[in-house]
């Protein structure tokens, strides 16, 4: 995943389908949810101490699959505290999916939602009296914001005392980062993208002099079919991983061959005849 420099970054139509296909095959949400169950209860208890209500903001929440799980977890950790949720998401299609998911998730009817169907940049411009939140999360979306340091500075300024800004992003030095940095000329040119990983987020956080913690979210997924040009699954995974319309028609044949070789030898591990892509994520929790 990576950052688009134009403002076509929100997912609609074929991007939604490609992302959902990726989620089904990558186990990414399952890995993040495992991490949430270990990490968030302690974090939520600290955030909620001395509070009479809790305000949560999700930025780039997509279809809300992770948000509803986080909010349910927050309810179970703080059963007596009223919770409200705001969502800033650019995709009308994914907001509709999110609303449908809220409607069918037990207990979420107790949480009032405010939907800001807009880009993060527009939310930042639009809010005059900045609303304060106790927990703000940006999961796999920081690639798409215009100015990374300014964005972190803005959302951190929206935190209440003891609040946390949780950014989840591809981990520096792991599979995504190696692929996108090694082939940045081709991948970024083809998709009009600049790439970011946890290394870039940490650089911004350090420039701003903020206190933070970093945690790894390990994950791998099977990309064996990417090496079979006749596999539809492989081609669809490659489409998402390289942010191309059609991997088999993008770049020169030599570059495609080099990328596939690099994917196998540097970004993955082989086990029992299968190739597993190293897709570790990083959670950077910025303090108020
Ligand atoms: C990779 S998806 C992640 C969705 C969700 N957080 C998850 O992990 O399943 C990125 C999401 O960010 C949204 N997005 C992209 N650019 C955005 C922006 N500038 N402001 C708000 N949302 C944006 C997209 O529409 C998409 O839903």
The pLDDT of 42-60, averaged and rounded, is: 97
Confidence (pLDDT) at 2: 46
17, 90, 147, 193: residue to mutate for ligand 1 pocket, most atoms within 8 A of CB: 90
Residue 9 Cβ inside 6 Å of ligand 1? The answer reads: yes
Q: Kindly report, residue by residue over 157-179, the tens digit of the pLDDT.
A: 999 999 999 999 999 999 999 99
**3 pLDDT tier (thresholds 50, 70, 90):** very low
pLDDT surpasses 60 at 58: yes
Confidence (pLDDT) at 5: 38
Confidence (pLDDT) at 11: 87
Fold of 3-171+193-220+281-287: Rossmann fold (3.40.50)
pLDDT surpasses 60 at 198: yes
Whole-number Å distance, alpha carbon 67 to ligand 1 midpoint, is: 12
Question: Helices marked H in the chain — which ranges?
Answer: 14-26, 28-48, 65-77, 92-103, 120-126, 148-157, 175-182, 184-191, 198-207, 232-242, 253-265
Whole-number Å distance, alpha carbon 227 to ligand 1 midpoint, is: 29
DSSP 180-221: HHHTHHHHHHHHTEE---HHHHHHHHHHTT--EEEEEE--EE
The pLDDT of 264-270, averaged and rounded, is: 97
Q: Which residues make Cβ contacts (< 8 Å) with residue 273, sequence separation at least 6?
A: 224
Confidence (pLDDT) at 152: 98
Whole-number Å distance, alpha carbon 238 to ligand 1 midpoint, is: 20
Q: Cβ distance 235 to 243 under 8 Å?
A: no
**β-pair type (133-139, 159-170):** parallel
**117 pLDDT tier (thresholds 50, 70, 90):** very high
Whole-number Å distance, alpha carbon 41 to ligand 1 midpoint, is: 24
pLDDT surpasses 80 at 191: no
Confidence (pLDDT) at 10: 79
Question: Which atom of ligand 1 lies closest to the CA of 7?
Answer: 19
Tell me the CA end-to-end span of the chain in Å, nearest whole number: 27
| Dist CA 278 CA 162 (whole Å) | 34
Residue 95 Cβ inside 6 Å of ligand 1? The answer reads: no
2, 3, 10, 217: residue to mutate for ligand 1 pocket, most atoms within 8 A of CB: 10
pLDDT surpasses 90 at 42: yes
Residue 268 Cβ inside 6 Å of ligand 1? The answer reads: no
Token pair 């992770």 is found at 66
The mean predicted confidence, pLDDT, of the chain is 94
Residue 119 Cβ inside 6 Å of ligand 1? The answer reads: yes
pLDDT surpasses 80 at 134: yes
Residue 91 Cβ inside 6 Å of ligand 1? The answer reads: yes
Domain ranges of the chain: 3-171+193-220+281-287
């Amino acid at each position: 995943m990576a950052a688009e420099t134009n403002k076509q970054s929100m997912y609609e139509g074929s991007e939604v389908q490609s992302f959902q296909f990726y989620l089904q095959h990558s186990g990414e949400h399952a890995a993040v949810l495992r991490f949430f169950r270990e990490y968030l209860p302690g974090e939520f208890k600290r955030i909620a101490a001395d509070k009479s209500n809790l305000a949560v903001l999700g930025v780039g929440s997509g279809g809300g699959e992770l948000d509803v799980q986080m909010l349910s977890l927050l309810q179970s950790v703080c059963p007596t505290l009223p919770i409200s949720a705001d969502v800033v998401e650019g995709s009308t299609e994914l907001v509709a999916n999110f609303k449908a998911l809220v409607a069918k998730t037990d207990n979420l009817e107790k949480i009032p939602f405010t939907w800001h169907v807009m880009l993060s940049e527009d939310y930042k411009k639009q809010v005059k009296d900045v609303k304060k939140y106790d927990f703000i999360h940006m999961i796999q979306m920081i690639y798409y914001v215009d100015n990374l340091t300014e964005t972190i500075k803005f959302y951190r300024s929206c935190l209440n005392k003891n609040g946390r800004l949780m950014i989840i992003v591809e981990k520096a030095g792991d599979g995504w980062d190696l692929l996108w940095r090694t082939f940045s000329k081709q991948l970024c040119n083809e998709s009009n993208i600049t790439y970011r990983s946890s290394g870039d987020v940490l650089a911004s956080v350090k420039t701003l002099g903020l206190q933070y913690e970093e945690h790894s979210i390990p994950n791998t997924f099977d990309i064996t079919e990417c090496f079979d040009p006749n596999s539809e699954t492989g081609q669809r995974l490659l489409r998402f991983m390289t942010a191309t319309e059609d991997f088999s028609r993008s770049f020169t044949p030599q570059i495609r061959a080099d990328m596939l070789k690099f994917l196998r030898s540097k970004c993955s591990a082989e086990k029992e005849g299968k190739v597993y892509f190293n897709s570790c994520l990083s959670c950077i929790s910025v303090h108020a």
